[in-house]
Homo-oligomer: A and B are copies of this chain.
Amino acid sequence: MGMTQRRETILEELGSAPGLESLQGAIEKLRDHFRVDHLVYHWVNTDGDQYGCGTYSDIWVERYLTKDYLRVDPVVIGSYQKFHPVDWKRLDWSSKASRAFQMDAIAHGVGNQGLTVPIRGPNGQFALFTVSHQCSDAEWEQFIQRNRRDLILIAHEFNEKALEFEPSRQPEQLRALSPREVDAMTLLASGQSRAQVAEALSISEHTLRVYIESARSKLGALNTTHAVARALSWGLIVV
Interface residues of A (CB under 8 A from B): 1, 44-48, 70-72, 76-77, 80-84, 95, 97, 120-126, 149, 152-153, 156, 159-160, 163, 171, 173, 176, 179, 182-183, 186, 188-193, 221-226, 228-230, 232-239
Contacts and interface: CB of A to CB of B under 8 A. Distances in A.
Contact of A176 (B47, B95, B171, B237): B95
A180 to B, nearest CB: 11
Contacts of A189: 225-226, 229
A46 B237 contact: yes
Q: Which residue of A1, A228, A233, A236 has the most chain B CB atoms within 10 A of its CB atom?
A: A233
**4 tightest A-B contacts by CB?**
A191-B226, A191-B222, A124-B235, A120-B120
A230 B238 contact: no
A176 B223 CA distance: 25
Contacts of A81: 122, 171, 173, 234-235
B225 A188 contact: yes
A70 B238 CA distance: 9
B179 A48 contact: no
A106 to B, nearest CB: 21
Contact of A235 (B46, B160, B237): B46
Given A77-B235, A83-B159, A239-B229, A190 B122 contact: no
Contact of A190 (B160, B173, B190, B226): B226
A70 to B, nearest CB: 7
A215 B105 CA distance: 29
Q: Which residue of A47, A192, A222, A239 has the most chain B CB atoms within 10 A of its CB atom?
A: A239
Contacts of A233: 124, 232, 238-239
A126 to B, nearest CB: 7
Given A80-B235, A83-B163, A124-B232, A97 B179 contact: yes
A49 to B, nearest CB: 9
A222 B190 CA distance: 8
Q: Which residue of A45, A76, A84 has the most chain B CB atoms within 10 A of its CB atom?
A: A84
Contacts of A238: 44-48, 70-71, 76-77, 80, 123-124, 126, 233
